[in-house]
Amino acid sequence: MGTGPFPGWRGWLVVAVLAGLWAARSVAPAGLRGPKAPLRIEWRLGPDYPMGIQDSALGVVDGQVVSAGGFTRRPKDILATHPDAFGGKRSGFTKLTFAFDPRNESAGWQRIADMPGQARQGPAVAAVDDALYLMGGMSYDPPHTYRETYRLRHEQGKWEWQEITSARLPWPVYGAAGSTAVIGRSIYLFGVADFFPAPGAKGPDFHVEGREGNPVGRALLVLDTSHLDAGWQRLPDCPGLAQFDAGVAAAGGKLYRLGGIHTPVTLGKDRAGYYNAVDSWRYDPAARVWSRLADMPQGTNRRALTYADRYILLVAGYKYGQTWHLDGTVKNADPPKDVFEDTVLVYDAVTGQLSSTNSLIERTSYPSSAIVGNTIYCLGGEGGPRLWHPATFHIGKIAD
C-alpha cells in the first residue's frame, strides 16, 4: 500500500485495476512543447536497495547517501539478513536505515543506526551542514501522522540520531520526503498532508486540510538550524490550491512549488479522490510575498531537485485522470487516464521556461531523491516495472 498515486487503504484495489498499465510505455506530459533542455542527464542503475522501498527519507551525509525508514510490500529477501526489518511482520513500515558510499560502490547498501521513533514512511527531509533532518511522517497506527523532528550525524565513524525537541512541528504532517527546500541554513517545509479519517469515512486517508482545520497543504513553515531553540516559525500561507506530494525546491534565494496533488476533506461522491493540481507559485523570503507562475503540465508526484541554483528538475511522476484548477473547475486530463511517467522536466527559474530532458531508465512515482553537485540519486517510489515498490537506484550525471 503506501502513498503516492495509490494512498492509504485503497492502494491495492487500484493496483489490481491498473495492472494492465505496468507494461505500458511512459510518455511525456501531454501538452509539453517547450524548448530544448538546457542540460542533459546520463542515467545508470546503481546497486538495488535491500528491499523495495517507498517514501524513505533520502539525503547525503558525510559524502554517503542515506535512506531512512519507508514502506514496502516488496521486501525481497531482507528478512533473511535483517529479521527485525518490520517489527516482526513480513513487510510494511520500517525503521531500517542504510548508507551507500559512492566511493565504494561495490559494497552496496550498508545498514546503519535505525531511524528513531515509530516506524514510518514519508517524513520530510533536508540536509544542512552535513546533517540530515527528518520531520513528521505517517503510518497506519494512530495517531497516523507525526510531529517530531530528528537529526542524523556521522561523527568519528559513528552514526547518531537525536530528537530536536524544540523543533516539534505545530501539527502532524506527512511530508513525502520531498516537501522541503533549504536556503542558507534554513529549512522550509511546504506542500504536505495529514492522514486521518475524514467525517463519515471508513478509514484514514490523505488530506491537504489537516484535522482540526490545520492548513497543512498551504501553510509555509521555516526552521533556522542556526537557532533550533526558536523552533518552527509560520510564514504567509500560499494563496494557491492546497497541495501535497508537491514539487518543492529553492533556486536563486526563492522558494518554488511546481504543482502537486489536491485532496480535499469534504467532497460529494462525484468529487472524491485525488486530483492533479497544476497552479504553481514562487515565494520571496525577503519580501514575504507569493507570486503566481505559469501552470505546470497536468500531472503530479514529481520530485523536485535544484541544479546550479537555477534549474529545478522534476523527476518522474504520476498523472491522475482529472485536474482541479485554482478557480474550482475540474477537468479531465489529456488523455483522461492515470499513467506513470519516467520523464524528467527542467524548469528554468530565471526564464520561467519548462523543457524535458533524458528520462529515467525505469518509471516510478515520487522517488526519494537527492542531488550533490552534478550527481542525482533517485531511490524507489511506486509503480516500478520490476517491483511495485521499486528497489531501483538511479544515479544520474548532469551535463550542461
The domain containing residue 154 runs over which residues?
Answer: 110-360
Residue 7 has pLDDT above 80, yes or no: no
57-92 confidence digits (pLDDT tens) = 999 999 999 999 999 999 999 999 999 999 999 999
Is 80 exceeded by the pLDDT of residue 137? yes
CATH number for position 175: 2.120.10.80
Domain contains 128: yes
Residue whose C-alpha cell is 542556526: 226
Cis, bond preceding 143 (omega within 30 deg of 0): yes
Q: Give the pLDDT mean for 365-393.
A: 96
- Closest to 324 in 3D by CA, of 367, 344, 295, 345: 295
Q: ∠89-52-80 over CA atoms, to 5°?
A: 50
Q: How many domains are there within the chain?
A: 1
Of the ranges 34-38, 131-135, 239-243, 386-390, which one carries the lowest mean pLDDT score? 34-38
Per-residue pLDDT averaged across 93-119, rounded?
A: 98
The answer to which of 107-116, 188-197, 224-233, 281-290 has the lowest mean pLDDT is 188-197
**pLDDT tens per residue, range 303-339:** 999 999 999 999 999 999 999 999 999 999 877 778 8
Position 30 pLDDT exceeds 80: no
Side-chain half-sphere CA neighbours of 104 within 13 A: 9
Residue 43 resides in a domain: no
150 located within any domain: yes
Apex CA 199: angle with CA 198 and CA 204, to 5°?
30
Bridge partner list, 18: none
- Band of the pLDDT at 266, cuts 50, 70, 90? low
Asked if 278 and 301 touch (Cβ cutoff 8 Å), the reply is no
Q: Stretch 173-188: mean pLDDT, rounded?
A: 94
- pLDDT category at 15 given cuts 50, 70, 90 is very low
What is the pLDDT at residue 265? 65
Residue 104: inside a domain = no
Task: Indicate whether 130 belongs to any domain.
Answer: yes
pLDDT at 37 over 80: no
- C-alpha distances out from residue 58 to 66, 252, 339, Å: 6, 23, 25
In a domain, 69, yes or no: no
Task: Single out the residue of 326, 315, 312, 134 nearest to residue 243, CA to CA.
Answer: 326
pLDDT score for 25? 34
| pLDDT value for 203 | 85
- Statement: residue 5 has pLDDT above 80: no
Instruction: Please report whether residue 19 resides in a domain.
Output: no
Confidence tier at 256 by pLDDT (50, 70, 90): very high
| Average pLDDT of span 2-10 | 42
Position 3 confidence tier, pLDDT thresholds 50, 70, 90: very low
In a domain, 393, yes or no: no
